Chains A and B, each alone.
Chain A
């Protein structure tokens, strides 16, 4: 009986951890303005190793990411989003990265000057 319980517990742990490493989820506030931004971010991260799900909510200005923390770090994800010209939570893009955006995608207040 104990063995079975142990086995079930083990199975539960194995099943809950999808694949090797830990799955983490995060919602990052960003600087999304329009459909183009959603497409750019989702496509830009679609093939990044370690990222399982990317969903941009334009109305809430949020990026939802589900990733494998042993394959990619949160820092790296934020860097990638910045490179596309968008804010990633607490991390802002550099001026140069931001300037690369289409004019409709530039959000006021990202750079205050």
Chain B
């Protein structure tokens, strides 16, 4: 029972001056500018609180130590969290929340990032957290999350991929505010193509996603929410530089155009020009790189009609390989080994929502996207080029069974078109995918229990009829203790080259033994989330276990023959067990702690037998401390990551000097950063990889890159060494 605590009554009873500090103010509606009565207001992770009066005003005594987060929530509005520094007046404007196709994260989402009310196991990474670690692109934004690991593909291209539940990032569906993107050939750049400062929130969901978003989420979903337009015109600027002469500049300009129209322009430029070879193996540790990213979004927010259109352009160029490599002179010869990747991408995303005037539980949503991606690359003398044109359309109709029913359903029609044209050395190949599909999702929602059941039927022109049933269950044992369970099937079309382009950085002969079939898997898991107070401190404990097994997989085999890279359809079993336990606690008002442990057991039946998947550590630990002082004007953050030993692909048939141990080393990575806020400015400085751990012998036979033993694709750790960095952020509001 939410007990309303009458602030003024309580304080007048006690009549103790300093103890009776209050926070008070008015809560209004962002759209109508009207006061909102009945808004739930409570201190983070506490049940006691108050609600606003008829005139939207409230008064809440400060019975907690400041600064602390104060949460404002009301049905139909986006929950607002305000960091209260001192007693006084806090006025809040709530924005209404009718967003389609998004994982619903209502109520009780706070700095601990896990909601007790959301249907699925979702971890939220908000801007506060993104800014505590070195920016800069999305791959680098997961440093304080134990759920996602970021690994280099190889030792020369600098491209990265993520790992979730022990499996590669290609099995996770990436969403742009609910619309799938960064798929297919776009996986070559992966998350490097998304500048971190553009993001507002990242939502990580484990387990199969909703049928509404498509069939491609096999192990999870990562939903990206970008900086939205607001009521004021603002410019955010984010500049970054590090000791390896990598520079990044970001500018985000939000502008309301009228009551209903608004726009945001995002710009990013990235450059890395310094040639660094710290381990002196003759190869650049990180490639020379230049990137340009621009995005523009237009939003219309009406009473019953909302729509948005996003235009995005990405251009990236990287050159790596030996330090003496010069493209003009050496490309095509065997004087020096170099790699290069040129990527261009153009994308349009649009969504539209129509709300029923008579029934506010009925809505029609439409999303569409169009994407063209081009990759031109070379690895030594092997050239890979690819072009993909992709078009997607999704329509959803959502309604409750009757106006006040606990039952609701969403029906939809989906269409995906993919055209691929690729060439590798002297072979060309291509395919066209034509996939119409229909889906239905039923939700039963009660205060403590929610069940979602979804069914998808996609008629794939190449792989036949595919069914993807999915179930999500959520049960609140107590208001702050949530149990979740999920089971479901997903599938995707593998891309032998684009999914792991970095593996071409070797002398391995590539053999695609079978024509790839669709990869399909079943995933099931359960999670527990428990928030409680220990010695008057807020603590959150989460634990989850997921099991994924593949009906079919395009097995990427580097074991059966160290001189070959084999691709074949799975014959046997391929599965992954992933267990994670995490504790987050407020040690003192200013000091936050996070400790997490992850266990991964991933095995695949290769041609040479059942083996542990290489480069996936069994054990992983994360430790993070965050400290703020002087009322959040100073913030310090320290992270220690431990990666256990992982199996390395077999190299026992190589000549002796080029044999690698069966297992990798285990290692620690320490990062630290300090932020200082000065009004509209924020400056930050930090160190990555304080311990200067560099993977020893990352490249096999670096002296003869054109010889048969050369292999730069067996990377399990950092190649970068200790890096110092600094940056500036500005948040400028244009006053009229």
Listed in ascending order, the chain A residues whose CB lies under 8 Å from chain B are 35-36, 38-39, 42-48, 54, 56-59, 80, 83-84, 97, 99-103, 105
Contact = CB atoms under 8 A, between A and B. Distances in A.
A96 B446 CA distance: 28
A34 to B, nearest CB: 9
Which residue among B51, B403, B404, B446 has the maximum number of chain A CB atoms within 10 Å of its CB?
Answer: B404
A35 B4 contact: no
B53 interface: yes
B228 interface: no
B87 interface: no
B1 A48 contact: yes
Interface string B12-56: 000000000000000000000000111000000000000101100
Given A46-B476, A54-B447, A102-B37, 14 more contacts: A35-B361, A36-B38, A43-B447, A46-B447, A46-B448, A47-B448, A47-B478, A48-B1, A59-B403, A99-B53, A100-B37, A100-B53, A102-B36, A103-B37
B572 interface: no
A58 B403 contact: yes
Contacts of B478: 47
Contacts of A45: 1
B429 interface: no
B3 interface: yes
Contact of A47 (B53, B361, B479): B479
B75 interface: yes
Nearest to B36: A102
Contacts of A39: 75, 447
A80 B2 CA distance: 9
Contacts of B403: 35, 58-59
Contacts of B3: 83
22 contacts: A35-B360, A35-B403, A38-B404, A42-B446, A42-B447, A43-B447, A44-B2, A45-B1, A46-B448, A47-B1, A47-B448, A47-B478, A56-B404, A58-B403, A83-B3, A100-B53, A100-B54, A101-B37, A101-B38, A102-B36, A102-B38, A103-B54
A47 to B, nearest CB: 6
Contacts of B448: 46-47
A57 B479 CA distance: 23
B404 A83 contact: no
B4 A83 contact: yes
Contacts of B1: 44-45, 47-48, 80, 83
A59 B405 CA distance: 11
Contacts of A38: 404
B37 to A, nearest CB: 5
- Judged by DSSP, the binding face of B is loop
A105 B75 CA distance: 13
B42 to A, nearest CB: 14
A64 to B, nearest CB: 13
A41 to B, nearest CB: 10
Contacts of B51: 100
Interface in B280-325: none
Contacts of A48: 1
B4 A100 contact: yes
Interface of B: 1-4, 36-38, 51, 53-54, 74-76, 360-361, 403-404, 446-448, 476, 478-479
Given A35-B403, A35-B404, A83-B3, A99 B54 contact: yes
Nearest to A56: B404
A42 B446 CA distance: 8
Contacts of B479: 47
Nearest to A59: B404
B480 to A, nearest CB: 10
A39 B476 CA distance: 16
Contacts of B36: 102
Contacts of A102: 36-38, 74
Contacts of A101: 37-38
A66 B3 CA distance: 22
A101 B479 CA distance: 22
B368 to A, nearest CB: 31
A105 B404 contact: no
A35 B38 CA distance: 14
B75 A36 contact: yes
A97 B479 CA distance: 23
Contacts of A35: 360-361, 403-404
Nearest to A85: B38
Tell me which of A47, A84, A97 has the highest count of chain B C-beta atoms within 10 A of its own C-beta: A47
A76 to B, nearest CB: 10
Highest count of chain A CB atoms <10 Å: which of B53, B75, B360: B75
B361 to A, nearest CB: 8
Contacts of B446: 42, 46
A86 B4 CA distance: 14
A35 B447 CA distance: 13
Contacts of A105: 38
Of residues B2, B53, B361, B478, which shows the largest number of chain A Cβ atoms within 10 Å of its Cβ? B2
A57 B402 CA distance: 12
Nearest to A38: B404
A100 B404 contact: no
A13 B614 CA distance: 62
B457 to A, nearest CB: 32
Contacts of B4: 83, 97, 100
Nearest to B448: A46
A42 B130 CA distance: 37
A84 B37 CA distance: 13
A35 B74 CA distance: 13
A39 B448 CA distance: 11
A3 to B, nearest CB: 41
Contacts of B361: 35
Contacts of A103: 37, 54
A39 B106 CA distance: 14
Contacts of B53: 99-100
A59 B403 CA distance: 9
A44 B2 CA distance: 6
Nearest to A34: B404
